[in-house]
Amino acid sequence: MKKAVSVLLIAAMTALLFVGTGCGKQKQLIMATNAEFPPYEYHEGDKIVGIDAEIAQAIADEVGAELVIEDMAFDSVLASVQTGKADMGIAGLTITEDRLQNVDFSTPYATAAQVIIVKEGSSITTPDDLAGKNIGVQLGTTGDIYADDIEDANIERYNKGFEAVQALLQDKVDAVIIDNEPAKVFVDQNEGLIIVDEAFTYEEYAIAVKKGNTELLNKINDAIKKLQDSGKLQEIVDKYIKAE
């Protein structure tokens, strides 16, 4: 009888020790992104910063998790979410019908536009002028997707938006289609480039999660609503995008 009590006591103490250790370890929330997309995500020293990075941190704080950011090629972000290697994809992701076949999206947290970058003096002044031209895009982006509909255009795909802009500067392409905010950064950094006045298309950004993961999706949506209602989301955006 004494032996049985001792065994039970040891088992109970072991269980308590295990629970105590487990409670001390915070759950991780893994974010897949492509940190080549200022001001939404980009490198600042050895850190990844930007609008999406701060929104992700705020969501992690809301759900009581440690945020871990995994940087990868843009066209790997959704695949990482699909396979469960990442909990969520935040990379200036636009909701499209094709993407909805493979992942679920949160409520939108930002609106954006795809715009056209050209050299000063270019004959391209509207989206209609892109017909038959050489156009640079970042692989896997909505700019890449929508460019396929341009009549007789030759589409050159690059792993990074920066590489597409460099190709434009070197006259390898006639124009670059890319999101509006990164476009502003690239134009500011490179003399002789301008953004065409008329946007190529408008869209909304949202957070991708693995299809069917409604528990996480609901938590993300709740966190986004709290950020919007409190004004915190706008504060984050205003920190990186100054009113013109």
Residue 177: the pLDDT is 97
Domain-embedded: residue 5: no
Report the distance separating Cα 196 and Cα 14, nearest Å.
67
**Residue of 104, 109, 111 whose CA lies nearest to 179:** 111
Over range 131-149, report the average pLDDT. 94
92, 210: one domain: yes
Least confident interval from 16-30, 139-153, 172-186: 16-30
92, 148: one domain: no
State yes or no: cis peptide before 39, omega within 30 of 0: yes
173, 234: one domain: no
CATH number at residue 80: 3.40.190.10
| pLDDT, tens digit, 9 for 90 and up, residues 54-78 | 999 999 998 899 999 999 999 999 9
Distances in Å between the Cα of 211 and the Cα atoms of 88, 104, 167, 222, 227 are 11, 5, 36, 18, 24
Contact 31, 70 (CB under 8 A): yes
Domain-embedded: residue 100: yes
117, 81: one domain: no
186, 216: one domain: no
115, with CB counted inside 10 A (0-12, 13-18, 19+), is buried
**Residue of 109, 94, 102, 237 whose CA lies nearest to 177:** 94
Domain-embedded: residue 11: no
| ∠ Cα 237 115 238 (to 5°) | 10
| pLDDT, tens digit, 9 for 90 and up, residues 115-135 | 999 999 999 999 999 999 999
Distances in Å between the Cα of 185 and the Cα atoms of 34, 36, 43, 189, 198 are 16, 11, 14, 6, 18
Residue 22: the pLDDT is 42
212, 97: one domain: yes
104, 211: one domain: yes
Contact 233, 227 (CB under 8 A): yes
- 33 CB-side CA count, 13 A: 30
Q: Which residues contact 138 (CB under 8 A, 6 or more apart)?
A: 74, 144, 157, 158, 159, 160, 161, 163, 164, 178
Tallying the residues shown for the chain, one arrives at 244
The two tokens of residue 223 are 């966190």
- Domain span holding position 126: 113-203
| pLDDT, tens digit, 9 for 90 and up, residues 38-48 | 999 999 999 99
